[in-house]
Amino acid sequence: MCGIVGIYNHPEAAKLAYLGLYALQHRGQESAGIVTANGQKLVAHTQMGLVADIFTEEVLDRLPGSMAIGHVRYSTTGESVLRNCQPFTINYSRGSLSVAHNGNIVNAGRLRAEFEAHGAIFQSTIDTEVILHMLADSKKRDLVDRLVEILPQIKGAYSLVFLTESRLIAARDPYGFRPLVLGKKDDSFVVASETCALDLLEAKFIREIEPGEIVVFDKSGMKSLKPFGPQKRAHCIFEYVYFARPDSIAFNRNVYEIRKGFGQMLAKEAPVQADMIVPVPDSGVPAAIGYSEESGIPFQMALVRNHYVGRTFIEPEQAIRHFGVRVKLNAVKQMLEGKKVILIDDSIVRGTTSRKIVKIVRDAGAKEVHLRISAPPTTWPCFYGIDTPRREELIAAKQDVESIRKYVTADTLAYLSTQSLYWFEKQKPGEWFCDACFTGNYPVGADEIRHTIRSETGTLLTARLH
């Protein structure tokens, strides 16, 4: 879970990168960084915290040049510490090189072990650093040739932006797991994880960086390479379910429309008599609107979110029950009193939050609480960059829908079917997507993944792993 941005040929490259990261803050809140280049050198600033807190006017003024890359991070591999922040910068035989990565490399552990066996010293615990070691180790002369040589050895999900003293390079893995888009603002190019970043910069959305594509920006303009041949695609369906911003275009479709469709399908698949539809904000809102439109049952924002809650808060000494959820969400009691409620959320991961939210709605006086989830049960962990817990912690990996219902104390519970998830694809539904979190079908690195899951969980939980 990360967001990346790249700016080429703009006098205020650092400021544009900052604004791009601002729009991508939902993709990671642990740390942020910007590296700029002015033709001679790279200058970096990375820090723990939120984009708006890190990048003051003063910090941005110290980032010179017309090229920049940026990163917001929510750790999926490696601890949450400063030395793991990105962009990651090195000096090697051919100059300076910086990289920002969104995704997760499945075989990073093995690749790293091979380097370490030959004496390499790693500075961080993130999988991205291995890419830099491979690039520095390659015998090819040009950086782009080095990339073409090493990328086929990397298994997993990567949307990448690289920066040297004079070039910006964007690359996306052949499966296209994570989104990456290309935009143009006058004579400048912008690369970003999502189009919401282009919108803020008033950059025109040109197209996606294609799966398997490498795009080079330098003084001769923009050059595209597709050295890897056609490949089966595996766009992350969870970007549509939860992760991407609803105002973005991801994988060439608007996320809001897709989510609303999930809600419409859910209303068809799992109808129930009720007085109102209530979303769990913000993630459940578009699906709840879809459910409401399809069922004709009114939509009410009877749960209100506090948008200013940071990652940590000081709890009172006298424990307040369910404080963590309560500080984020509160119920409008006057709306819920005596009512039959359909509560809509996008996913149940461990089940703990959902259980607390159902309780909040009941405590507010709801007579019935029907929980509807606008995606199938999350039964397998993600190894391609979405932060999910180990398999044994996923409630749907161990329990069926009825026992999950009991656990979250809902009157009824229903999930969206895998078939309806692909309502937007009439031909070959799901063919272009990775839905491993719902199905256990891991499109790449299945051997490594199988090994990890087996070593983490008991045989019962690996039984369906193919």
Instruction: Name the phi and psi angles at 298, rounded to 5.
Output: -65, 145
Nearer to ligand AMP, 242 or 299 (CB): 242
Of the residues 2, 196, 434, 437, only one is catalytic, namely 2
Nearer to ligand AMP, 15 or 260 (CB): 260
| Residue type at position 185 | K
Residues in CB range of 313: below 8 A, 6 or more apart: 327
Instruction: Name the phi and psi angles at 183, rounded to 5.
Output: -135, 165
Nearer to ligand AMP, 1 or 216 (CB): 1
Residues in CB range of 404: below 8 A, 6 or more apart: 348, 351, 377, 395, 396, 413
Active site residue 85: no
Nearest distance from C-beta of residue 386 to ligand AMP, angstroms: 5
Nearer to ligand AMP, 18 or 242 (CB): 242
State the distance between the two ends of the chain, measured CA to CA, in whole angstroms. 25
Nearest distance from C-beta of residue 352 to ligand AMP, angstroms: 4
Nearer to ligand AMP, 341 or 348 (CB): 348
CA distance 279 to 304: 10
Kindly report the length of the chain. Answer: 466
Contact assessment for residue 20 and residue 404, using Cβ atoms and an 8 Å cutoff: no
Give the distance from CA 107 to its chain's centroid.
Answer: 20
Structure token pair of residue 233: 């695609």
Give the distance from CA 7 to its chain's centroid.
Answer: 21
Per-residue DSSP letter, 364: T
Nearest distance from C-beta of residue 30 to ligand AMP, angstroms: 12
User: Beta-strand (E) ranges in 365-441?
Assistant: 368-373, 412-415, 433-434
Nearest distance from C-beta of residue 204 to ligand AMP, angstroms: 31
| Residue type at position 325 | V
Three-state secondary structure call for residue 439: helix
Nearest distance from C-beta of residue 282 to ligand AMP, angstroms: 9
Q: Site residues (CB under 6 A) for ligand AMP?
A: 242, 280, 283, 345-354, 386-388
Nearer to ligand AMP, 165 or 387 (CB): 387
H-run or E-run covering 324 = helix 323-326
User: Beta-strand (E) ranges in 112-226?
Assistant: 156-163, 168-172, 181-185, 188-192, 204-208, 214-218, 221-225
Nearest distance from C-beta of residue 460 to ligand AMP, angstroms: 20
Q: Which residues are catalytic?
A: 2
